[in-house]
């Protein structure tokens, strides 16, 4: 019996997504009971579209958090890259090329954070915190604080739906999850992500080029942030420097809720998916139940605290089992 209990505990610690699935179902039932339109095809389709952008941001965050790093500037990075895309399109640049330029800028911004963290041997959290002001300042300077609209130029990507229900954006997000899952489970880079997250010094002594790998992690994160900015622009049809504000906390919260501890070394993309889904369901349910927006902010803040608490409890439980 003791062995069975220990086995169940290990499985629960290793995979948190079944618990998240149960929570999502319960919340959906409650929201559907309060407002029957919650289960309407239009609302479900809208929910899938909403979580698509956060999904790509969370994909990049998954790599960083498992490797023991953080980037809290992704919201500002989205704002900068999306306004660059919009401004280029407004000036006659072919939309796909403008989008590619924005993705490239986001990738460079992500890489610079990693490079600065390596060069100055400073925590990525501090570097990315400073980068928020830099990215937002550049975005405000080039736009003069104005909203860049692109109505009729790039929204097709955000409007396309398969079978008039499944958003193309969601399919792109699923592809992003697939890429991260492949990297984490089938490549040497994925093994390095876990190794560095578990013990950076041990990884270095094992022959892993920690600095080079860390730069790759941040570049990949920037790439996914740029793709998220592209999807967001296609969905909204406009961009401004504040676009993406707060998304970094949602992404980190989703990854941590999905089972990746803040200390790094563990986690998987399946948990991230259900963490994002939970985040989207909570936000959508609160809107459908017409909860005051200010109260929604309180609830979202509590959800972030809950995510950190769960991460801490998981680490303690794992240590207790090892002892």
pLDDT digits (tens, 9 = 90+) for 207-257: 999 999 999 999 999 999 999 999 999 999 999 999 999 899 899 989 998
Residue 311: is its pLDDT beyond 90? no
With bands split at pLDDT 50, 70 and 90, how would you rate the model's confidence at 2?
Answer: low
Element (H, E) at 238: strand 238-239
Q: Report the pLDDT averaged over residues 269-295.
A: 91
Residue 62: is its pLDDT beyond 70? yes
What would the pLDDT profile of 84-128 be if each residue is shown by its tens digit?
A: 999 999 999 999 999 999 999 999 999 999 999 999 999 999 999
Distance CA 242, CA 261 (A): 29
Q: What is the pLDDT of residue 60?
A: 98
The DSSP annotation for 87-137 comes to HHHHTT--HHHHHHHHHHHHHHHHHHHHHHHHHTT--HHHHHHHHHHHHHH
With bands split at pLDDT 50, 70 and 90, how would you rate the model's confidence at 317?
Answer: confident
Q: What is the pLDDT of residue 156?
A: 82
Residue 277: is its pLDDT beyond 60? yes
Distance CA 259, CA 257 (A): 5
Distance CA 282, CA 277 (A): 9
Residue 235 to residues 48, 239, 272, Cα–Cα distance (Å) = 12, 10, 22
Torsion sign (Cα): 301, 303, 306, 311: negative
Distance CA 166, CA 46 (A): 9
With bands split at pLDDT 50, 70 and 90, how would you rate the model's confidence at 313?
Answer: confident
Q: Extract long-range pairs of 150-153: CB within 8 Å, 24+ residues apart.
A: 150/86, 150/89, 150/90, 150/233, 150/237, 150/238, 150/239, 151/237, 151/238, 153/89, 153/95
What is the pLDDT of the chain when averaged over all its residues? 90
Torsion sign (Cα): 122, 126, 130, 136: positive
Q: What is the pLDDT of residue 85?
A: 97
Residue 321: is its pLDDT beyond 90? no
Residue 162: is its pLDDT beyond 70? yes
Residue 270 DSSP code: H
Q: Which residue has the tokens 């029957």?
A: 36
Percent of the chain with pLDDT over 90: 68
Residue 184: is its pLDDT beyond 60? yes
Here the tokens at position 175 are: 């592809």
With bands split at pLDDT 50, 70 and 90, how would you rate the model's confidence at 1?
Answer: low
Which three-class secondary structure state does DSSP give residue 263? coil
Q: Report the pLDDT averaged over residues 145-163.
A: 87
Whole-model pTM? 0.92
Distance CA 216, CA 67 (A): 11
Check: CB of residue 264 under 8 Å from CB of residue 276: no
Residue 323: is its pLDDT beyond 80? no
Q: What is the pLDDT of residue 11?
A: 55
Distance CA 280, CA 289 (A): 14
What would the pLDDT profile of 8-45 be if each residue is shown by its tens digit?
A: 455 555 577 888 888 899 989 988 898 889 999 999 99
Bridge partners for 161 per DSSP? 167
Q: Distance between terminal CA atoms of the chain?
A: 19
Element (H, E) at 304: helix 293-322
Lowest mean pLDDT among 173-177, 261-265, 311-315, 319-323: 319-323
Distance CA 296, CA 182 (A): 35
Pick the more confident residue, 58 or 153: 58
Q: Which of 83, 126, 127, 89 is nearest to 105 (CA)?
A: 83
Q: What is the pLDDT of residue 301?
A: 83
């Amino acid at each position: 019996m003791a062995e069975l209990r220990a086995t169940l505990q290990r499985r629960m610690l290793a995979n948190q997504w079944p618990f998240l699935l149960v929570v999502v179902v319960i919340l959906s039932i409650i929201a559907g009971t309060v407002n029957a339109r919650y289960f309407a095809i239009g609302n479900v389709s809208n929910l899938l579209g909403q979580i698509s952008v956060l999904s790509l941001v969370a994909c990049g965050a998954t790599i960083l958090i498992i490797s023991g790093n953080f980037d809290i500037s992704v919201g500002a990075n989205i704002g900068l890259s999306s306004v660059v895309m919009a401004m280029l399109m407004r000036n006659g640049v072919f939309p796909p090329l403008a989008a590619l330029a924005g993705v490239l800028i986001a990738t460079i911004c992500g890489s610079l954070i990693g490079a600065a963290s390596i060069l100055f041997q400073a925590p990525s959290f501090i570097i990315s915190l400073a980068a928020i002001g830099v990215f937002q300042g550049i975005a405000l300077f080039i736009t003069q604080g104005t909203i860049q609209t692109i109505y009729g130029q790039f929204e097709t990507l955000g409007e396309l739906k398969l079978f008039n229900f499944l958003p193309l954006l969601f399919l792109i997000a699923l592809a992003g999850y697939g890429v991260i899952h492949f990297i984490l489970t089938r490549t040497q880079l994925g093994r390095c992500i876990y190794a560095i997250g578990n013990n950076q010094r041990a990884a270095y002594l094992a022959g892993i080029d920690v600095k080079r790998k860390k730069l790759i992690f941040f570049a990949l994160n920037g790439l996914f942030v740029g793709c998220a900015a592209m999807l967001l622009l296609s969905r909204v049809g406009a961009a401004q420097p504040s676009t993406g504000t707060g998304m970094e906390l949602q992404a980190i919260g989703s990854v941590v809720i999905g089972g990746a501890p803040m200390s790094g070394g563990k986690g998987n993309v399946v948990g991230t998916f259900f963490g994002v889904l939970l985040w989207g369901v909570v936000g959508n349910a609160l809107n459908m139940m017409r909860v005051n927006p200010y109260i929604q902010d309180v609830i979202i803040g509590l959800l972030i605290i809950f995510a950190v608490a769960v991460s801490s409890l998981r680490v303690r439980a794992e240590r207790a089992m090892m002892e």
